[in-house]
Structure 1
Amino acid sequence: MGKPTIIDLAKHLGISKTTVADALKGSGRVAHETRARVMEAAKEIGYVSNRAARQLRESSTGAIALYVPQRVRNMSFYMPFALGVADEAAKHGYDLTLVSDRSADRSGWTHVDGAILVDAMMGDPVVQSLIRSPLPIVTAGRIAGFPDARSSGIVEIEHTKMCGEILDAMASRGAEHPALICPEPGDESSWVRQIVLGYKEWCVRKNIRQVIEVVSSFPTNAQLEASLVDALSGGDVDSLLFGWQDVAQRAEAALTRIGHGLGKVKLASLLSSKDNLNESYIAGLDLQPYEFGQRTAALLREAISSPPATPAHQLHEALVIQPDGGANTRT
């Protein structure tokens, strides 16, 4: 007897071949219980899908692309984000292809079925190359100037609102005059510009002086120390909000070197994981990058299966946390 076929599986279950196929692919409107029953039955009778044949029938490569620009690639946020994309893609039979700056030279992008862009800008050659391709594209965060006609969807964090909420959490812990330490901003839709806007709006509401220090994404110790000295030079700043975890992790040692040991200034940061919030910090904002990646990949899979008439829009939650077990709030 030959290998069990999808027809054998459908007969075994007493349901249609189409329902079985949709359940195996993770597409269509198949109830969770039915999908689970199909997967269990497939295992029971030894059915194994012929992925290569399925891809040929569907003109599918079985892979999606993820592009993280070189300028931010080493930030700790992007590894768990990429893992979230990879795990969600794997659930639906897709491999993940990480593309480099050299991918701008590709003419057709025929090796993938869709692409995810995270924190990219319109001037990036890879972005321009993808726009010229026929692929469905989902962006994690907005890209200023990205044409709606080429967008299948956006998943974003409300960074401006989020910044106000973590500043409120800091204020509840006695931070009366925080300064913002952030990396160099990208385009007008970038997360850094949104954080800066949220900080400025909060300062206006509180009627306090705005203190913003911009440093490179990966500053030297001397550059970081100089920025901290400038932020604290006015004498009224009593706390620091760091826009990214990579520099926040170096802040304690840098503050000690410039004569501001722990206890003299309160600290808070945007985080790649809640596990990175230690007792030195009065508040943090867990961006939940793994879940962010999952959600973005899920939206791309939907766009590949059923191209939307207009770009889909989803919000990803971030979680305000406190190291002593204070109330957590979602933004």
Structure 2
Amino acid sequence: MPDTLGSLIENNALDLVDMKMYTWQMFNGLLYLSQLQIMHRDVKPVNILVDHEHGLLKIGDFGSAKIVRPGMSSTPYQVTRFYRPPELLLGSENYNWTVDIWSAGCVVGEMIKGNVLFPGRDTKHQLKLIRRALGSPTDADMKSMKIARSADSLPERTAGTGLAALLPGARPDVVFFLGKILVYRPRARLCGKELLRDPFFDSLFREGAKRSNSQPISQCITSADIAEAHSIDESKVKAKLTSIIMRTKLDFSCDDESKESRELPTTQAQRVSKEKAGPSNESVENAEVKKKPKKKRGRSTIMAPKKRGPSAERKKSILRRLRSTQ
């Protein structure tokens, strides 16, 4: 690959279409790594290799990469400072591939801005720049980043100026998209297939879409790439299906309870009045009916069907509906 994303940014060689195209490819590559439980830990423009003539991108330099394992601890002194996520700046040793999502978000910001988004002089200053833009993290944010101390331990509580202040002249949809990536909570960062399907990229996949050099986008991001990005994660579909079935059962239960609640109990005065008046004709008749022995029936007796959960056809119907919303 003849170029790096860093050199293209430095030479101001990227337009909005190129920025979107390279962003899509970069996050598609990170999705592949996350599926293998690999964290790169040094995503930055000079490590993103590009063939700008043909519009192709690859992630390079895996010298800091590591396989994520359950319960594994890692040193927080990873990732080049400008692209280091807040959980590492705060000293977390329990992190995963979501650190790469933050770094990639900083790369996107750099493509938009034309220079480094958070150019911190040292670790403290780096964190200060992030807090100045995003506001101070909450206790819930700190817990999500797996930081033992509370948010009150951080100096200079601030509400934040927002990312738009760092990106003067940027389109609102670009700032909005970046704001879904650069968030404190690692698991809340937009990534994976959800990111690849984001409306931000719709203009790339319109019929006949081309780059400024007249190259069709379909030569850079193939139909197979798009189909894979829009494929359904069956495990997530099954989880959603189970959730819908459980909610349906809960709704039925709530309906039964609401029917019972509509049968209002009589007051004590009403009960005393009824006792003094004696049993009504209706209650006597009901008592007589209850005393009548039930007729025994033979084997031809029709038994009431047992209550069952949603039928297989019903489940298929729900599954089709879920798939249609993906």
Instruction: Please state which band the TM-score falls in when normalised by the shorter chain.
Output: under 0.3
| TM-score (norm: length of structure 2) | 0.19
Larger radius of gyration: 2
| TM-score (norm: length of structure 1) | 0.19
Higher share in helix: 2
Higher share in strand: 1
